[in-house]
């Protein structure tokens, strides 16, 4: 598996792969929340200055992607105050590639890049309905930061904050 920076020509494919990857949640959340989530993962936020968009590739096929937002940026369109560490966003793995370590490899690369830049922590947010994602983050050592939770669609669904300390690794 190769983890590399995404090419501009791959953006449409990556964004569509995100929708396919996240679509399983549409059946368990209100339609308004799904539409807000879909809009967020299709947005051009992944090409803002300083954002590193990474892909996991095997045999020329993109299996997943992730956006690493730099510290001190508005990674969540005003829903959360800027933090002094990078934020992982829009992690998506093709349903056919799940269980093969793709998400872990993408997160590990984000951690490596953040350490190289001298950051003390790395963070992320995930919907409370994304049970497998939360299990993965907790297994990797991310800790909950409820003070940075938010409710984006005014429907009671919490987007939970997590942070991993990079100082002790």
To the question of domain 2-165 being in CATH 1.10.3720.10, the answer is: no
Helix axes 11-22, 31-42, angle to 10 degrees: 160
Residue-wise pLDDT for 105-120, tens only, equals 999 999 999 999 999 9
Per-residue pLDDT, 80: 64
Reading the block at residue 108, the tokens are 């590990």
Which residue numbers in the chain have pLDDT < 50? Answer: 169
State the pairing for strand pair 143-144/121-127.
unpaired
User: In sequence order, which residues have a C-beta less than 8 Å from that of residue 156 and are 6 or more positions away?
Assistant: none
Per-residue pLDDT, 73: 78
Reading the block at residue 139, the tokens are 């297994």
Q: Domain limits of the chain?
A: 2-165
**Bridge-partner residues for 53, per DSSP?**
67
Coil, strand or helix at 54: strand
Per-residue pLDDT, 11: 96
């Amino acid at each position: 598996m190769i983890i590399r920076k995404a090419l501009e020509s791959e953006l449409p494919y990556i964004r569509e792969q995100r929708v396919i990857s996240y679509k399983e949640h549409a059946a368990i959340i209100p339609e308004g929340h799904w539409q807000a989530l879909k809009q967020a993962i299709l947005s051009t936020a992944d090409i803002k200055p300083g954002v590193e968009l990474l892909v996991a590739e095997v045999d020329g096929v993109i299996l997943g992607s992730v956006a690493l937002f730099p510290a001190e940026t508005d990674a969540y369109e005003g829903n959360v105050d800027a933090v002094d560490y990078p934020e992982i966003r829009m992690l998506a793995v093709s349903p056919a590639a799940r269980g093969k370590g793709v998400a872990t490899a993408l997160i590990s690369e984000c951690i490596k890049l953040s350490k190289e830049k001298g950051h003390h922590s790395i963070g992320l947010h995930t919907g409370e309905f994304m049970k497998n994602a939360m299990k993965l983050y907790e297994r990797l050592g991310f800790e909950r930061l409820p003070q940075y939770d938010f409710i984006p669609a005014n429907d009671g669904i919490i987007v939970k904050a997590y942070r991993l300390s990079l100082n002790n690794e």
